[in-house]
Every structure is written in structure tokens, then in C-alpha cells.
């Protein structure tokens, strides 16, 4: 159990790491396309820290990432990421606790889940507006996943470093 | 999972619901953008502009050393095109004079096509793979409003302003799935609805729907804004017809439009803040 000031320090470091990821996405990744898609870090950013925490803090962190994404990105639904990312965070945390211990493999699995959930929600919204594009949506989602998965490794390293720095007793 | 949902699920759901509703309500009731979105956009706008300027400078330097033969060939083609356009302009001037004379004789009211434009620089392009948008460096302080049309230097329609902040605005391009506007085929005068389609968005194409059953469209037909309803100016070039296809049901047909504006090549655009058109 961490003391209050240690907890604050831990979440400040998590926030700084997340801010770094946001900067990399905004100033580097979204300036080029690979295989016709922009590498997209945010679903992984909601999922990976959650694998290292219990479900409540993991979900709340993912919720915060979702709110920030909604403030920064233009989507047809103003609360798109606020709705999807808590679910991603919750699933990621539960998977890490029950099936796959936190690590690269777990990060890859939960990030993939994050991309799939985000893609499915996008397709669902298109369907509700009578502009269904399940096939095209699945294709974009697959390419986004393949292009972005390599970024999961440095992101996992970053958040693992934060975890090690703040949980010296583990 | 059951235990977690039992203990904390309601609070997580509550927090997500409150934030979602707050963002949605702020967005719905605001004529521009919600205060939080505006704050984030206003703070990040100068950084986006600075970064884009830097990248543009590097690209310009790189382009400076491009193949000189390609530039010479392009120059030659442009000279020919310029000569053709000068001839067309001379003919149009004669037609205008004749038109003005005939209108005067028939006591018709004077035609007007006045647009109030605001020059803007593109500071950011698509930020996700699910939308087609641009961020510009002009906002409410420059008189920009939601729903304003954005055109290129050649008067080709680029998109519609969807969100406005103090010193920035987001533009959904005409190929985005949230964009739909009244359109008219210039040659046949057939009316339709030009709207984005996710399956076509990646190829930079859009659809022309609700066409009359007896329409006879040809590849290359020009499509312009209809101006019906008065929301958008008329006669802005949307693009040209590429092909006509049957929809999923097979009962109705739609046309695929190639936008006239090249979104990737744009760096500067013009926002139509107001218009006064009399035809």
C-alpha cells in the first residue's frame, strides 16, 4: 500500500508519460501514413497502464485518457472516447489480473482489444446514421492495428519504467 | 469481473455518463465549440502553427531541388492552358456585356455573386483514420462560424467548418462521412445530395445520392453546390462524376464524385464568412 504522497507521485508520473505519448502522436505519428493509415497510439495508451493497476484505477485512468482524446480530436460523437476507453481499461485490467500477467504479450493483447473495440464502436456509429460500412471499417481497423502494434513495445517499456520507479518494493 | 462490477461498476458508469453528458450538452448548446474543447484548442493552436510552419519550410527546401525537367514540362502545359483560358475569358467578357444589355432591356434585376472571404492556413490534417478533417488558424475572433464553407484558391469546395474556437476551427472535408450538401450537376441541372461515404473516403471520393430516376450522367460531368435552402453559396465546384453505380438494393443509382480540390496539396484555403448571391 502506497502512502498518499507516493500515490500522487505515481499518478503524476503516469500523467507525464501519457502527455509524452500525446505529444508523440500529435507532432510525429499523425504527420505520416503507413499502408494508408495514421499510426494511432491512444487505444494502447488507455489499455497498457490499466494492465499494471487494479480495475478501478486502471479504468479511471482510461476514462481520463478518453476525456482528453475527446477534447483534442474531432469525432462525430463528442464523447466517443469517453465512452469506449473506460471499457478498454476495465477489460485490460481484468485480463492482466486473470489471464495474462502484465508484460509485452499482455500489452499486445489488450491493445489489440482496444483497437477492435474502438473500431467496432466507430462502425456501430456509422450504422446508426444509416451509413453502414462494416467491411471498410474492419479493413481500416485491421490496418490501424497492424501499423500501431509495434508502438506498443516502447509504450509498455515507458509505463513499466514508471511502475518500477513508483513500486520499489515489488 | 462480477465482483468488480458489483462493487465499483456503478461509479465508473456514473463518471463516464456524467462526463459524456457534460461534453455532449456543452457541444450541443454551444454555437462554436464547448468551453473545454475551445480552451484546449486555443492553447494548442500556436504550437500547431509553429510546427506546421517548420515542416512546410523543410518541405519547400526539399521541393526546391525537384526534377527540373518535370517543372519545365509543367510550365509548358500551364502556358497552353493559360492561352486557352485567356481566349475563354475574352469570350466570357463579350457574353457578359451582351447579358447585361439584354437584362437591361428586359428589366431583369442585376445578378450578384459576392463572397466575403477569410484567408486561413492549414495547421493540421486528419488526426484519426475515421474522419477527414483539417484544422485552420482562424476562429471566432476572425468572424468564422460553424457551417461556413471553405474553398481553395480556385474556388473548389474543400469542406464545411464543424467546430470553431477562439483562434482555430475544424473543417470536415467534403469526403467526410458527416458532410452532406445539396448539389447540382452543371450540365443536366439534376439535383442530388453530395455526401461522404466511409467506403469511398479513403480514396478521396464522395457520393451523389437521390438522383432523379431518368438522369443521364456522363463521366466528367461537373458537380456544383445547388445553394438550395440558402445555407451554402451556389456554384462552388464540388468535383466531377467518375462513375454511376447502383446502390445495395439495386433500386436506385448514385454517382461517385472525384473532388476538384486536392486536399493533400492544400496549404492555404479561404473561409466564406458570408455571401450575397442573386441569380
| Three-class DSSP labels, chain B | CHHHHHHHHHHHHHHHHHHHHHHHHHHHHCCCCCHHHHHHHHHHHHHHHHHHHHHHHHHHHHHHCCCHHHHHHHHHHHHHHHHHHHHHHHHHHHHHHHHHHHHHHHCCCCCEEEEEEEEEEEEECCCCCCCCEEEECCCHHHCCCCCCEEECCCCEEEEEEEEECCCCEEEEECCCCCCEEEEEECCCCCEEEEECCHHHHCCCCEEEECCCCCCCCCCCCEEEECCHHHCCCCCCEEEEEEEEEECCCCCCEEEEEEECCCHHHCCEEEEEEEEEEEC
pLDDT at B9: 62
Q: Stretch B145-153: mean pLDDT, rounded?
A: 91
- What cell was used for A133? 460500412
Residue B160 domain-assigned? Answer: no
Please answer whether residues B224 and B183 qualify as being in contact, where contact means their C-beta atoms are separated by less than 8 angstroms: yes
SS3 A130: coil
Q: Which residues, in sequence order, are CB contacts of A93 under 8 Å at separation 6+? A: A50, A51, A53, A54, A55, A58, A59
For residue B160, is pLDDT > 70?
Answer: yes
Domain ranges of chain A: 4-166
pLDDT at A47: 94
How far is Cα A27 from Cα B55, in angstroms, rounded to an integer?
10
Confidence of residue B229 (pLDDT cuts 50, 70, 90): confident
Residues of chain A below pLDDT 50: none
For residue B13, is pLDDT > 70?
Answer: no
Other beta carbons within 10 angstroms of residue B11's beta carbon come to 12
Residue B185 domain-assigned? Answer: yes
Confidence of residue B159 (pLDDT cuts 50, 70, 90): very high
For residue B222, is pLDDT > 70?
Answer: yes
For residue B174, is pLDDT > 90?
Answer: yes
Residue B277 domain-assigned? Answer: no
Task: Tell which CATH classification among 3.40.50.720, 2.60.120.10, 1.10.1760.20, 2.60.40.420 matches the domain A4-166.
Answer: 1.10.1760.20
- Please list every residue in chain A whose beta carbon sits closer than 8 Å to the beta carbon of residue B169: none
Residue B156 domain-assigned? Answer: no
Assign residue B248 the CATH number of its domain: 2.40.10.350
Largest CA distance in chain B: 85
Question: In angstroms, what CA-CA distances link B131 with A42, A73, A159, B104?
Answer: 15, 10, 29, 49
CB contact under 8 A, B128 and A38: yes
- Please list every residue in chain A whose beta carbon sits closer than 8 Å to the beta carbon of residue B124: 30
CB contact under 8 A, A122 and B131: no
pLDDT at B28: 59
Q: Is B25 on the interface with A (CB under 8 A)?
A: no
Range of the domain at B224: 180-260
Q: Is B16 on the interface with A (CB under 8 A)?
A: yes
Q: Which residue has the higher pLDDT, B49 or B34?
A: B49
Domain count, chain B: 1
Question: Which residues does A contribute to its contact with B (CB < 8 Å)?
Answer: 26-27, 30-31, 36-38, 40, 55-56, 59-60, 63, 66-67, 70-79, 82-83, 86, 90, 94, 98, 122, 126, 129, 131, 133, 135-137, 140, 143-144
pLDDT at B26: 67
Residue B238 domain-assigned? Answer: yes
Confidence of residue B34 (pLDDT cuts 50, 70, 90): low
pLDDT over 90, % of chain B: 36
CB contact under 8 A, A86 and B12: yes
Residue B199 domain-assigned? Answer: yes
Sign of CA dihedral B135, A87, A77, A35: positive
Global pTM reads 0.79
CB contact under 8 A, B131 and A135: no
Residue B140 domain-assigned? Answer: no
Distance, in angstroms, between B206 CA and closest chain A CA?
12
For residue B33, is pLDDT > 70?
Answer: no
Average pLDDT value for chain B: 84
Amino acid at each position: 500500500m502506497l502512502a498518499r504522497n507516493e500515490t500522487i507521485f505515481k499518478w503524476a508520473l503516469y500523467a507525464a508519460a501519457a502527455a509524452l505519448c500525446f505529444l508523440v502522436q500529435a507532432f510525429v505519428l499523425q504527420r505520416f501514413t503507413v499502408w494508408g493509415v495514421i499510426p494511432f497510439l491512444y487505444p494502447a495508451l488507455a489499455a497498457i497502464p490499466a494492465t499494471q493497476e487494479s480495475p478501478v484505477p486502471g479504468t479511471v485512468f482510461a476514462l481520463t485518457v478518453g476525456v482528453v482524446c475527446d477534447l483534442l480530436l474531432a469525432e462525430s460523437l463528442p464523447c466517443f472516447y469517453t465512452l469506449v476507453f473506460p471499457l478498454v481499461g476495465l477489460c485490460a485490467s481484468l485480463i492482466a489480473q486473470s489471464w495474462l500477467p502484465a508484460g509485452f504479450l499482455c500489452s499486445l493483447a489488450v491493445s489489440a482489444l482496444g483497437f477492435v473495440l474502438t473500431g467496432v464502436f466507430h462502425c456501430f456509429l456509422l450504422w446508426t446514421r444509416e451509413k453502414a460500412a462494416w467491411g471498410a471499417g474492419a479493413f481500416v481497423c485491421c490496418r490501424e492495428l497492424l501499423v500501431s502494434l509495434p508502438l506498443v513495445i516502447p509504450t509498455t517499456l515507458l509505463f513499466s519504467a514508471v511502475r518500477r520507479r513508483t513500486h520499489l518494493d515489488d | 469481473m462480477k465482483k468488480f462490477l458489483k462493487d465499483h461498476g456503478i461509479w465508473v458508469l456514473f463518471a463516464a455518463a456524467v462526463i459524456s453528458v457534460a461534453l455532449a450538452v456543452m457541444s450541443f448548446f454551444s454555437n462554436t465549440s464547448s468551453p473545454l474543447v475551445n480552451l484546449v484548442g486555443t492553447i494548442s493552436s500556436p504550437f500547431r502553427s509553429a510546427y506546421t510552419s517548420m515542416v512546410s519550410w523543410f518541405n519547400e527546401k526539399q521541393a526546391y531541388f525537384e526534377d527540373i525537367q518535370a517543372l519545365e514540362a509543367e510550365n509548358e502545359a500551364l502556358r497552353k492552358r493559360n492561352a486557352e483560358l485567356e481566349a475563354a475569358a475574352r469570350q466570357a467578357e463579350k457574353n457578359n456585356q451582351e447579358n447585361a444589355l439584354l437584362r437591361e432591356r428586359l428589366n431583369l434585376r442585376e445578378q450578384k455573386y459576392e463572397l466575403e472571404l477569410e484567408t486561413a492556413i492549414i495547421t493540421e490534417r486528419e488526426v484519426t483514420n475515421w474522419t477527414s478533417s483539417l484544422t485552420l488558424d482562424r476562429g471566432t475572433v476572425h468572424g468564422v462560424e460553424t457551417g461556413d464553407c471553405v474553398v481553395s484558391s480556385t474556388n473548389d469546395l474543400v469542406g464545411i467548418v464543424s467546430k470553431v474556437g477562439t483562434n482555430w476551427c475544424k473543417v470536415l472535408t467534403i469526403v467526410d462521412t458527416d458532410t452532406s450538401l445539396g448539389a447540382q450537376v452543371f450540365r443536366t441541372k439534376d439535383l442530388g445530395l453530395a455526401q461522404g461515404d466511409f467506403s469511398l473516403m479513403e480514396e478521396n471520393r464522395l457520393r451523389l445520392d437521390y438522383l432523379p430516376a431518368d438522369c443521364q450522367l456522363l463521366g466528367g460531368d461537373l458537380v456544383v453546390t445547388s445553394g438550395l435552402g440558402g445555407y451554402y453559396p451556389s456554384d462552388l465546384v464540388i468535383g466531377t462524376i467518375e462513375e454511376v453505380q447502383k446502390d445495395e438494393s439495386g433500386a436506385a443509382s448514385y454517382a461517385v464524385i472525384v473532388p476538384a480540390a486536392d486536399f493533400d496539396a492544400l496549404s492555404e484555403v479561404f473561409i466564406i464568412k458570408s455571401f450575397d448571391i442573386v441569380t
